[in-house]
Structure 1
Amino acid sequence: MKFISWNVNGIRACVKKGFEEYFHEMDADFFCIQETKCQEGQIDLPFENYLQYWNYAEKKGYSGTAIFTKHKPLTVKYGVGQKEDEEEGRIITLEYENFYLVNVYTPNAQRDLARLPKRLQWEEDLLVYLKQLDEVKPVIYCGDLNVAHMDVDLKNAKSNMGNSGFTLEERGKMSDLLASGFTDSFRFLHPERTDAFTWWSYMAKVRERNIGWRIDYFIVSNCLTKNIKVADIHPHVLGSDHCPIILELDSI
């Protein structure tokens, strides 16, 4: 079973840069996207054999998530009950017989950390939600989580200490999540790998020199680690300032 996650940084722009070709090439069971930046009716992606679930932000050209899937879910949930989550279109949960798939676009703390308190509250609420799901059946949690967890997850750890996405508080929330019965699938298979990034600044030559951050994840319930076949990153795929990430699981 193949899962893809990609922050497309505007699906309409990404479609003009090869999104559909990559989508068909990967032939995934589940293709999750974040930062769609569109409203209902602004784009038509008629992918044969796929069901589509979109969570639009109320603010135009902002945030938003979507999931394309070959498998009809038992239930679909948008957000986790907080009003702001619904307004910003940041969460979609699909329930299946043997697992939950949770696609998330985590709020950025902002450059001046003005949104850090809200970000930390978001993390606390989401952890409660994920643990509740995990008590029922295993969870596959993916998306742009807007945090580099460890020093190895970004190129210049020392100079970025305390910056948005690499504060002790944000990293601590990721540690709390992983200590609560969840596993970072990429680090599970590649514990020592360096220079493996999923986001690069648009500054000149940064991506070419691979000066990046790993802030996109597939995180799974611990009981699913035995099912992990592939956890990879596709930095060669352009079209966004993020690249796609891949998770392949044996039958759940």
Structure 2
Amino acid sequence: MSLRSVLLTLVLTAVPPAFASDRSVIRPTDGLLADSAILPSGGSLRASAGGGAMTQPDTTDADSLASVSASLLWAPLPRLAAKVSGTLEGGRLSPSASLRYQLLSEDTLPLNLTLGARLMAVGMEGRGSEVMLTLAAGRTWGRLSATGQLALGQGFNGRYENDVEASSLLLVHLSDSFRVGAEARLRFEVEDEDTPGDVGRLYELMAGPSAALRLEPFELQALIGWSAPRALLPAGVAGMALLSLDL
């Protein structure tokens, strides 16, 4: 046996089982802050419900610091997925709808790439409506997966500013039922009309570690991290949880 073969054998046997090449454990599931670049198989239907909250010791306006949401994701065809969702925050319901198509897949190319469009009845600033174009790119290395997403938004119906949303998702799939990782999301304006409501922080940032447990047909995701909301609210610890059911 040649020296090269011996070194290759040593490297392969030294790789921990959790990082060994096994893409079968990586499921096409969106994160809490970023969407996956891998869409579910055709015919999939997933219902989800969850919520989030943020600690704010300096304010008593609890309604503005907590939210609940529900969504339904349907993949009628391979590489195509539609989603409708609604978020209740501060006593206000914000519905949205999105359509995504997976352009590239790691099954044939070294990259997953998904293009999408999202329509929001309530824009990022909580006023007007907004339409966004999204692009998500991702790749897997054994049981490690990484995704980056960029969204460009245009306001309408009373708000006409342009927004940017950048998010990322890094996951380690320890088994086919449990994964851990980190997620982050940044939102800001690229064109600001300098309206009276634009005071304080002009961006929104949230990041933190996440974990997910899957017990067929359910999946529970949770994230605890740091959030810096837009405007005058102080930064603080925030948490999110989502329970999904594959129908």
Tell me the TM-score range normalised by the shorter chain: 0.3 to 0.5
What TM-score does the superposition give when structure 2 sets the normalisation length?
0.34
Greater helix share, structure number? 1
Which has the larger Rg?
2
TM-score, normalization: structure 1? 0.34
Considering Cα pairs closer than 8 Å and 6+ residues apart, tell me whether 1 or 2 has the greater RCO: 1
